[in-house]
Amino acid sequence: MTTTDLDAEVATYLDLTERIEQLVEQRDAVKVRLLEHGTGQHPTSSGLVVSITPPNRRFNADRAWAMLNEDQRALCVSPDPKKIKAQLPEVLVDQCMDEGTGAPRVTIK
């Protein structure tokens, strides 16, 4: 490969990188506008559906363990999240969920 060929390849690479960055910025702006529709399924006239889901939440086993009484703890043997969840009513399980991390997700199918 000659120096001229190398220069042309580098120029093409840099041009593509800049165009990709511009497209990503545009896509992110569209995503922000889509998020304004809120969590749920949003059908479009074309038959596609925009799904907006909140960030994943994580079960806080330590917080839930503290809610269990001695009999319930004995059934769990150790602070195993699955066993703890089984001992708590759904409303308390929800209270033991940490806030989601990351950004909401947008998918279009």
Q: What is the pLDDT of residues 65-81, one digit of tens each?
A: 888 888 887 777 666 77
User: What average pLDDT does the chain have?
Assistant: 87
Q: What is the pLDDT of residues 17-40, one digit of tens each?
A: 999 999 999 999 999 999 999 999
Q: Is 88 exposed, middle or buried (0-12, 13-18, 19+ CB in 10 A)?
A: middle
- β-partners of residue 52 are 40, 106
The pLDDT, as a whole number, for residue 71 is 84
Whole-number pLDDT of residue 70: 85
Q: What is the rounded CA–CA span in Å between residue 96 and residue 54?
A: 17
The answer for residues whose C-beta is within 8 angstroms of residue 84's C-beta and 6 or more apart is 61, 64, 65, 68, 76
Q: Average pLDDT in the 73-99 region?
A: 80
DSSP state for residue 60 in the 8-state scheme: -
- The fraction of the chain above a pLDDT of 90, given in percent, is 44
Whether 88 shows a pLDDT value over 80: the answer reads yes
Q: Is the pTM of this model over 0.75?
A: no
Task: Give pLDDT, residue 58.
Answer: 83
